[in-house]
Amino acid sequence: MKKWISPALLIITFLLSALGHFLGWNFTLQFILSAISVIFVAGFLGKATESVAHYAGQRLGGFLNATFGNAAELIIAILLVQQGLFDMVKASITGSIIGNLLLVLGLSLFAGGLKFKVQKYNVSLAGLNGSLMVLGIIALFIPAVFLNTHSITESDTKFLSLVVAGILIFAYLAWLLFSMVTHKNYLADVSHKDEELPHEHGPQWSKGRSILYLVIATVMVALVSEWLVGVLEPVSEEYGLSELFVGAFVVAIVGNAAEHSAAIMLAMKNKIGAAVEIAVGSSLQIALFVAPVLVFVSYFSGNTMDIVFTTIELVAIGVAVFIAKSITQDGETNWYEGLMLLAVYVILGVSFYLV
């Protein structure tokens, strides 16, 4: 592919998608245009992230990518919370967590595993990631159990939700302190040194330009995602899909397009540490930061959203955490492990589709 094609297609599809949105074209056409556009802006974001990751190190790069990727989701979710659409918010949080842990991680391990027999990354990080996942699922699980067994009242549940949300945000900030400051080297990429040497091709862009492109790409992804999400309801109605399925699968897949492309690209370059950081880090960020922030946003908006998910949402998140933890905890990955994650994703997808 010639060098100029990609930027051209990026801009053309973005403008077409924008035109479709602002001129109010046919919904299905808008959907198709923005879906095509999202592929290119996500690719652009993936490239920018990779370039920044080159300067910042795999883990910080992965963290940046996860954060920029989730920024779009956070903004969309805040809009939904302020409209009181709590079920839609929870469905998309569910979808985002399982989408990252099963689809993004699964595709990364699978694609990376086809090129490299075994890919390794820091086993201490793998263990801590696993424990953080467990913390996240426990925090979502406890209020639901206490409410469903009638152990506490509904109004107490809102108070408990705020407490749990506060603890999760505190735990997330402490995690940043731990992983970026006090134990940075402890969690460093195993193969860091080896990979530095055989630099097939250095980064395309300078440090400053990489950061600028990262910001621009994130904004573009956020815009296109929003246009796409905007037409999801009429389109899903037309094709007879349930709100839960759309929230948990369609929105989540589209909203995580950036993470998808970046993680897979990195995995195929044997930077599996960064790929895992994007996929797992992104889902942790949603469980430990985005979801709790939404609880507080709803509280300050005067209509507190509790943190109680439905049974099938909890089961979906629970099984995703359980298998992702089982697969990642040894710090070694291969194509079959990716396949197992994808198998669980398909099973969940079909189940939610049938609801």
Residue type, 121: Y
- Interface residue with a second copy among 26, 82, 83, 131 (CB under 8 A) is 131
Closest CA to 275 of 104, 118, 139, 123: 104
The answer to whether residue 258 forms part of the interface with a second copy (CB under 8 A) is no
Least separation in angstroms between residue 62's CB and a second copy is 18
Listed in sequence order, the DSSP H helices in the chain are 5-23, 27-56, 58-82, 86-98, 105-115, 123-148, 154-177, 192-196, 207-230, 232-238, 243-245, 251-255, 257-268, 272-285, 291-300, 311-328, 335-354
Least separation in angstroms between residue 167's CB and a second copy is 5
Distance of alpha carbon 26 from alpha carbon 16, whole angstroms: 13
Distance of alpha carbon 324 from alpha carbon 328, whole angstroms: 6
The answer to whether residue 329 forms part of the interface with a second copy (CB under 8 A) is yes
Number of residues forming the site for a second copy (CB under 8 A): 63
DSSP 8-state class, residue 332: E
- Within 162-201, which residues bind a second copy (CB under 8 A)? 163-164, 167-168, 170-171, 174-175, 178, 182-183, 186
Distance of alpha carbon 106 from alpha carbon 247, whole angstroms: 20
Part in contact with a second copy (CB under 8 A); list of ranges 3-11, 23-31, 37-45, 141-149: 141-149
Least separation in angstroms between residue 171's CB and a second copy is 5
Residue located via tokens 């899903």? 236
Distance of alpha carbon 277 from alpha carbon 281, whole angstroms: 5
Q: Degrees (nearest 5) of the Cα angle 229, 230, 235?
A: 85
226 vs 332, beta carbon nearer a second copy: 332
- Interface residue with a second copy among 145, 180, 212, 215 (CB under 8 A) is 145
78 vs 171, beta carbon nearer a second copy: 171
259 vs 337, beta carbon nearer a second copy: 337
Beta-carbon contacts of 71 under 8 Å, excluding residues fewer than 6 positions away, are 218, 222
209 vs 353, beta carbon nearer a second copy: 353
- Interface residue with a second copy among 124, 194, 209, 238 (CB under 8 A) is 124
Residues that bind a second copy (CB under 8 A): 117-118, 123-124, 127-128, 130-132, 134-135, 138-139, 141-143, 145-146, 149, 151-152, 156, 159-160, 163-164, 167-168, 170-171, 174-175, 178, 182-183, 186, 311-312, 315, 319, 322-323, 325-327, 329-330, 332, 334-337, 339-340, 343-344, 346-348, 350-351, 354-355
